[in-house]
């Protein structure tokens, strides 16, 4: 599945890389720990931690 989030620094939306999960309880990315994932903005390079509720899901 794919998900997007809004950068906490520049405010632009970007794709979460490597996101693959079946449900909220199974939220996993390469950098994730439980419900949080550390992601780098593809526009400005800012690294921040995002929770499941920060993401915009493309499909469920």
Taking only the tens of pLDDT, the chain with its 60 residues reads 467 889 999 999 998 865 444 444 445 555 555 567 788 899 999 988 888 777 776 654
User: CA separation (Å) from 57 to 1, 5?
Assistant: 8, 9
**pTM for the complete prediction?**
0.62
Cα 27 to its chain centre, rounded Å, is 10
């Amino acid at each position: 599945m794919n998900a997007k989030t809004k950068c906490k620094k520049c405010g632009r939306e970007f794709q979460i890389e490597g996101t693959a999960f079946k449900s909220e309880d199974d939220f996993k990315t390469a950098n994730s720990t439980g419900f949080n994932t550390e992601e780098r903005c593809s526009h400005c390079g800012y690294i921040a931690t995002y929770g499941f509720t920060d993401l915009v899901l493309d499909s469920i």
